[in-house]
Amino acid sequence: MNINIGLTGWSDHPSLYEESVRSHEKLQAYASHFPVVEVDTAFYAIQKKEYYEKWVRETPESFSFVVKAFQGLTGHDRETRTKKEARELIEAYIDSVSPVVEAGKLNALLFQFPPWFDVKKENIQRMRQLREWLEDYPVAIEFRNQSWYRDAYRKKTLQFLEEESFIHTVCDEPQAGEGSVPAVVEATHPEKTLIRLHGRNVHGWNKNGNQNWRAVRFLYNYREEELKEWIPSIHRLLDQSKAVTMLFNNNSAHDAAPNAKQMMEYLGVSYEDLNPRQLGLF
Write the pLDDT tens digit of every residue in 135-173.
Answer: 999 999 999 999 999 999 999 999 999 999 999 999 999
Query: Taking the chain, what is the end-to-end CA distance rounded to the nearest angstrom?
Result: 35
- Which residues, in sequence order, are CB contacts of 31 under 8 Å at separation 6+? 37, 58, 59, 60, 63, 274, 275
DSSP string, 159-179: HHHHHTTPEEEEEE----STT
Identity of the residue numbered 140: A
Vertex 120: Cα angle to 170 and 144 (nearest 5)? 30
pTM score, whole prediction: 0.95
- Taking only the tens of pLDDT, the chain with its 282 residues reads 899 999 999 999 999 999 889 999 999 999 999 999 999 999 999 999 999 999 999 999 999 999 999 999 999 988 888 889 999 999 999 999 999 999 999 999 999 999 999 999 999 999 999 999 999 999 999 999 999 999 999 999 999 999 999 999 999 999 988 889 999 999 999 999 999 999 999 887 776 656 565 677 888 999 999 999 999 999 999 999 999 999 999 999 999 999 999 999 999 999 999 999 865 433
- Which residues, in sequence order, are CB contacts of 124 under 8 Å at separation 6+? 160
**Which residue ranges make up each domain of the chain?**
3-267
- The whole-angstrom separation of Cα 282 and Cα 275 is 20
Q: What is the DSSP letter of 18?
A: -
3 state SS of 65: strand
- β-bridge partners, 248: 7, 197
| 244 phi, psi to nearest 5 deg | -125, 135
- Considering the segment(s) 3-267 as one domain, its CATH architecture is Alpha-Beta Barrel (3.20)
How many residues in the chain? 282
